[in-house]
Amino acid sequence: MASVFGVGIATVDIINSVESYPDEDAEVRASTQHVSRGGNVCNTLTVLSQLKHQCYWSGVTCRDSDTHFILDDLKKNQIDYRYAQHLDSGKVPTSYITLNRLNGSRTIVHYRDLPELSYQFFKMQKIPKCDWFHFEAREISDTQKMISHIKNIYPKATISVEIEKERKGLEDIFGFADLYLFSKAYALYSGFDNPLKFLSDQKLNSPDADLTCTWGEKGAVALLADGTIIESSAFPPTHIVDTLGAGDTFNAGIIHARLSELDWQQTLSFACQLAGKKCGQMGFENLAAS
């Protein structure tokens, strides 16, 4: 068992399942509705907790009723949130998600009225010594300072950063962490239709880091600090049920496999298998069970 500290957002996800994706301006009835706690890092920690790691979360919540729902769920998943910031006003992030039962696609409309976790707050916390620190690249300047702070106080810890989408000043986050986990969405946004070409381009920014990029049903690619290329196919389940958080599950698989000292080929395959399993079920329950 290792210890993992995650920094990112916690959300309330309102998930409506529909038989097929609606046309614009249509009125359709959802076949089911689930409300669950989401957020990339929180989802990743949920899976890591199932894999028996000691997990800590830091992010921002506020005094609204949804915060209780979020914190109760983190507690249920044995994720320690004592280093989170609780503000007096605001609205915790909420995602309105349309899950297409035909293909498991998830379309997310996200609303938030809450500041990001600040470096000012983070540096005042007595952050525990952990084996691994995982950050969502959100407010870049503060995230970069948090990473430098952790490198300073815990130089032996491994640091990973998830790059899901374009952010202001994103270029400043590169060159600091040990591992960057990129999404297909960001690779496409950057003008690449191939994960390896994308990672080769990213290597110029972070030559000493390991890099991964997921590619949905095509699996994932890694480009390691020493230049080695690793590829894994996806592991599709019998039926695709729910792809919400497939990338977050993949990230948990990578972190777990590296903490377990698997080699990189095994690491990438394990992460794709875990993410594939997640796509075959609703939510994140029991993903660690074999």
Footprint of ligand FRU on this chain (CB under 6 A)?
11, 13, 38-40, 43, 95, 108, 110, 244-245, 247-248
Site for ligand ADP in 181-240 (CB under 6 A): 183-184, 214-217, 219-220, 234, 236, 240
Q: Which is nearer to ligand ADP, 158 or 243 (CB)?
A: 243
DSSP string spanning 198-224?
Answer: HHHHHTTT-TTSEEEEE-GGG-EEEE-
Is 47 among the residues that bind ligand ADP (CB under 6 A)? no
Tell me how far, at minimum, the Cβ of 234 lies from ligand ADP, in Å: 4
Beta 158-163 vs 32-38: how paired, if at all? unpaired
CA dihedral of residues 162, 43, 158, 141 (deg, nearest 10): 40
The number of beta carbons lying within 10 Å of the beta carbon of residue 74 is 23
Contact segment (CB under 6 A) with ligand ADP among 21-29, 44-52, 76-84, 243-251 equals 243-251
Among 243, 252, 254, 270, binds ligand ADP (CB under 6 A): 243
Tell me how far, at minimum, the Cβ of 29 lies from ligand FRU, in Å: 22
Q: Which is nearer to ligand ADP, 144 or 214 (CB)?
A: 214
Residue type, 17: S
Environment class of 91 (CB within 10 Å of its CB; exposed 0-12, middle 13-18, buried 19+): middle
Environment class of 25 (CB within 10 Å of its CB; exposed 0-12, middle 13-18, buried 19+): exposed
Q: Which is nearer to ligand FRU, 94 or 144 (CB)?
A: 94
Helix (H) or strand (E) holding 152: helix 140-153
Q: Considering CB distances under 5 to 8 angstroms, the limit depending on partner class, which of ligand ADP, ligand FRU, none binds residue 95?
A: ligand FRU
Contact segment (CB under 6 A) with ligand ADP among 63-71, 109-117, 170-178, 271-279 equals 271-279
175 φψ region: left (φ > 0), alpha (ψ -120 to 50), beta (else): left
Contact segment (CB under 6 A) with ligand ADP among 138-146, 153-161, 171-179, 268-276 equals 268-276
Tell me how far, at minimum, the Cβ of 27 lies from ligand ADP, in Å: 27
52 φψ region: left (φ > 0), alpha (ψ -120 to 50), beta (else): left
Q: Which is nearer to ligand FRU, 70 or 244 (CB)?
A: 244
Is 8 among the residues that bind ligand ADP (CB under 6 A)? no
Return d(Cα 176, Cα 208) in angstroms, integer. 9
Q: Are 179 and 160 in contact (CB under 8 A)?
A: yes
What is the total residue count of the chain? Answer: 290
Tell me how far, at minimum, the Cβ of 39 lies from ligand FRU, in Å: 5
Spatial CA neighbour of 127 closest among 40, 46, 58, 42: 58
Among 116, 247, 254, 287, binds ligand ADP (CB under 6 A): 247
Tell me how far, at minimum, the Cβ of 248 lies from ligand ADP, in Å: 7
Q: Which residues bind ligand ADP (CB under 6 A)?
A: 183-184, 214-217, 219-220, 234, 236, 240, 243, 246-247, 250, 272, 275-276, 279
